[in-house]
Each structure stands twice: as structure tokens, then as C-alpha cells.
Amino acid sequence: MSPTKQAGPWAMLVLAGGFEIGYALSVAGSSGFTAPGWSVSAAVFFLLTLFALSVALKRIDVGIGYAVWAGIGAVGAALLGPVLFDETLTPLRAFWLAVIIAGVVWLKLADSVQLRRGRLAAGQPAGDRPDAPGGGRTASARDGGGPGHDPAH
């Protein structure tokens, strides 16, 4: 698969994270859904973030994708909260936001290395990704396996 197609699910995940930021900020601005404009905005961003996240998770493992999505939303809302609302961003909060950002980056890097190793172990060129059911997920996930699943039977 070309690098552009590999970037597609991650671009969709970043977009979902942006929508999540919009959702979180809209909920905050809605004052318990009593402000109509903010409330409608929250509903729209909620639907957009769910759609974009579900598209991204077709090709990204749910644990990685969800963690990255939540990290983008949390950091974005924490950084924009002081701009839009009467919130403070202390140095200690900024430090922990940086830790979240570092974790998200490492998750993406770990996912890239894992995919590359999996392709090489399967004898595929590093740029190819199988178009198998499950979108390149593990064999046990594709085959309906799980705890107690014996691939020999």
C-alpha cells in the first residue's frame, strides 16, 4: 500500500480528534445544554467525531486509535479552554499535557514499527498491506479467534 493510503486512516483519526475538541468545547459552552447554539454545535461535533473515528478504526487497531483520539481531544480542549472560557493552564497542567502528546506520538510510532515488522515476517514488501477481511488486523481477530481460539482447528 502506498504511503498516501497508509496515511489515510491516520488523517481521518486526526480529523476525528479535531471534531472531538469541537465537541468537548461545545459541551462546555452549552452550560448543561441550556445554550441552544452551543448545544446544536455539540450534537453536530458528536456525530462528526463518531463517524470519523469509526472510519479510522477500520484500519487502525481500536486500542491505539481510541487512545490517540482521546489524547487529541483532551489536549486540544485543555489548550483551547483558556482561550474560549475562563480556564487556566498552569505549568503543571502544561507538563502533563506534554506527557499525553508524547504518549500519542509513541503510540503512532509503535504502530508503524509493528505494521512494518508484521509485513516483513509475512514475507510481504514493507509498503504492502493485505486487503484481507479485518483490514490487516491480527489473524485471530480476522478468524473470529479470541481467548481459547485454537487456529489449528
In order along its 153 residues, the chain shows pLDDT tens digits of 555 566 899 999 999 999 999 999 999 999 999 999 999 999 999 999 999 999 999 999 999 999 999 999 999 999 999 999 999 999 999 999 999 999 988 888 887 776 667 666 666 554 444 444 445 444 444 444 445 545 454
82, containing H or E segment: helix 62-84
pTM above 0.85, yes or no: no
Q: What angle is formed at CA 96 by the lines to CA 100 and CA 59, rounded to 5 degrees?
A: 5
Return the DSSP state at 131: -
Q: Are 29 and 85 in contact (CB under 8 A)?
A: yes
